[in-house]
Amino acid sequence: MPRTVQKVSFTEAKAKSTAWATTYGDMVTLLLTFFIMLLVIMNDAEKHIDRIINMLLDQTYSELNDQLKGNSYVSVDRVTKGVKITMASVGGDLFRSGKEELKPTFHPLIGQIGFIVKMSPIVGVHNDSTYKNFLEALEKRNKELAIEIRCEGHTDNVPLPERLQTKFKDNWELSSARALNIVKLLSNFAGIEEDKFSALGYGEFRPVDTNDTAEGKAKNRRVDIYLDAYLVDKNGQ
């Protein structure tokens, strides 16, 4: 008995030959959806980590501001990357003319600042069990929370007189030396590791007020102490 061959239309043949494309397209769509969801989850996790860091910095700012409030030589501000503590010469000079050493009368103030910083939520996060999950999340991402205490020295625009140029050539060098002096005092008083500190000097080049008045010059003769927190790779920045 002869075999009956069923005729298949061109449309049916084409549909069968391309049927795999539908399955492939579904698979690609599912994979794309999976990776989009994964990306969203990762972004949410990163945002959550950032929120915790900012919360710790907010708490640190509040503590510093509350405990140093009322001191005419100090102001505290919450800045983008951390907390800024400004020590300015309003009402008197922090440093003797042409000298890098902070006047001894201000050592207790530096000691107070150093103690508050050391006990602050952002610096003491590793000793707080509340943030155990946060630290574990960083560990899984091969990240760690880096803390930097950066001191920046500034002067007014009055050039150093020749008799004071035996040690420092100009205000730039003097401001750098004053910032380094504050770093050493903070490290000694607070007992914080030296590798968390850095010092910079800007001389008269970053004023916050006019240099045309005595009050403006006093505001410009200052040291800014920045307490910054940011994430770095555990194997290097």
> By CB neighbour count within 10 A (0-12 exposed, 13-18 middle, 19+ buried), where does 137 fall?
middle
pLDDT averaged over the chain?
Answer: 85
Is residue 27 assigned to a domain? no
pLDDT at position 12 is: 55
Is residue 111 assigned to a domain? yes
pLDDT at position 213 is: 93
Lowest mean pLDDT among 39-53, 140-154, 188-202, 218-232: 39-53
Helix (H, G, I), strand (E, B) or coil at 146: strand
pLDDT at position 16 is: 54
Residue 38, pLDDT above cutoff 50? no
Q: In terms of residue numbers, what domain contains 194? A: 46-233
Is residue 25 assigned to a domain? no
Residue 123, pLDDT above cutoff 80? yes
Is residue 84 assigned to a domain? yes
pLDDT at position 30 is: 62
Contact status, residue 86 vs residue 224, Cβ threshold 8 Å:
yes
Is residue 181 assigned to a domain? yes
CATH code at position 130: 3.30.1330.60
Q: What integer is the mean pLDDT of 200-215?
A: 95
Give, as one character, the DSSP assignment of residue 12.
H
Is residue 5 assigned to a domain? no
CA-to-CA distance for 178 and 173, rounded, in angstroms? 9
Is residue 106 assigned to a domain? yes
pLDDT at position 65 is: 96
- What's phi and psi for 223, nearest 5 deg? -130, 125
CA-to-CA distance for 97 and 4, rounded, in angstroms? 112
Contact status, residue 174 vs residue 100, Cβ threshold 8 Å:
yes
Domain count of the fold of the chain: 1
Give the DSSP letter string of 106-139: GHHHHHHHHHHHHTSTTTTGGG-GGGHHHHHHHH
Lowest mean pLDDT among 1-10, 41-50, 188-197, 228-237: 1-10
Is residue 31 assigned to a domain? no
Tens of pLDDT, residue by residue over 47-97, are 788 889 999 999 999 999 999 998 989 999 999 989 999 999 887 789 887
Max avg pLDDT among 13-17, 43-47, 138-142: 138-142
Lowest mean pLDDT among 52-56, 100-104, 151-155, 165-169: 165-169
User: Which tokens belong to 89?
Assistant: 């010469």
